Structures are given as structure tokens and as C-alpha cells.
Amino acid sequence: MPTVLFTVKATIPKDQEAAFNRWYNEEHCPQFLRFKGAVSARRYRAIMPEDRFQYIAVYELQDEATFHRLMESEDFKALKADYDAHFAVSERSRAAYVQVWP
């Protein structure tokens, strides 16, 4: 079955950026990786100014069924609530993609 990439793009106020990166790396990504069917979690910082978002987190899930199970889970609700509790002022965008090749 093809994997799914779930992405979350975010822009964070400059004064919260260090705390955001520390929290994301040390707490948020490890929490995500405990979800059954999570394959990987990676984060990137934009280096081209064409995207209005500074950061993107790319989460890989084993298949589309796992992605839908995540979206409906208490785990995902907790992940979102934790993000909002720490960084509600950030701008973010979510998207998901199913692998089409190879």
C-alpha cells in the first residue's frame, strides 16, 4: 500500500521561534511517532521566500487507512490541543498526500 505524507506548515512569531523548535523537536514529533502506523517525522525550515510559511513538518504514515485513523483519533486531538496550547498565535496549514509513484 502507498504511504501518506501529512504536512503541517507554520509561521511563528520571532519571539517564540526558539521555544517552538525545541517543543516541536523534543515533544511534538516524539508524541506523533508513538502512533501505531507512524513511519517518520521530519521538519524543515524554508530557504526560499516564495512560501509564506517558515516551517514544514512532514509526517509519514504507513498507508491511507492509517492516516484516516490518525485524523479521527484521540491522539490527533491531543496533538492539536497541545500545539494550540503552546502556539495558538501561529499561522498554519495542513495537507495530506498519498504516494502515486513509484
User: Tens digit of pLDDT for each residue in 37-83?
Assistant: 999 999 999 999 888 999 999 999 999 999 999 999 999 999 999 99
- SS3 of 65-87: the string is HHHHHHHCCHHHHHHHHHHHHHH
Domain tally, the chain: 1
The CATH number linked to 77 is 3.30.70.100
59 is in which domain, residue-wise?
4-98
Q: Is the pLDDT of residue 1 over 90?
A: no
The pTM assigned to this predicted structure is 0.93
CA–CA distance, 66 with 38 (Å, rounded to integer): 8
**Are 75 and 6 within 8 A, CB to CB?**
no
